Structure 1
Amino acid sequence: MHQGIAFSFGHIRIHHAGRCAVVAFHGEIDIAAVVDVSCGLDAVTAIPRRPVVLDLTGVEFIDACGLGLLCRARRRVAARGGRLVLVCDRPRIWRLLRITGLDGAFTVTATLAEALDQAARPTGR
Structure 2
Amino acid sequence: MSTPPDLLRIESSIEGRSPCITLHGELDHRTAPVLEEHVRRALDTAHPHLVFDVRLLVFCDSAGLSVLIGAYRRATRHGGTVVLRGLHPSLQRVLRLTGVEALFTIHPTRESDEVLDALGGHGEPA
TM range (shorter): 0.7 to 0.9
TM-score by length of 2: 0.82
Choose which of 102, 107, 113 in structure 2 pairs with 1:116: 113
Percent identity over the alignment is 27
Structure 1 unaligned residues grouped into runs of 5+? 1-9
- Given that 2:20 and 2:50 are in contact with CA atoms closer than 8 Å, whether structure 1 keeps it comes out as yes
TM (norm. structure 1) is 0.82
1:71-90 equivalences under 5 Å are 71-90=69-88
CA displacement, residues 73-100 of structure 1 (integer Å, 9 cap, x when unaligned): 1111111222221113311111111111
Query: What CA deviation, in whole Å up to 9, does each residue of 1:15-66 have, x standing for no partner?
Result: 1112111100111100111122221211001223432101111110100000
Instruction: Find the counterpart in structure 2 of residue 69 from structure 1.
Output: 67
- Segments of 5+ residues of structure 2 without an aligned counterpart are 1-7
Task: Figure out how many residues of one structure are paired with residues of the other and give that number.
Answer: 115
Distance 1:22 1:87, change over 3 A: same
After TM superposition, the runs of 4+ consecutive aligned structure 1 residues lying more than 3 A away are: none
- 1:89-125 Cα shifts (integer Å, max 9, x gaps): 31111111111111111111111x2111222314139
Q: CA RMSD in A?
A: 1.7
For residues 74 and 105 of structure 1, do their structure 2 counterparts lie closer, same or farther at Cα, with a shift above 3 Å needed?
A: same
Q: How does 1:2-41 map to 2 (within 5 A)?
A: 11-41=9-39
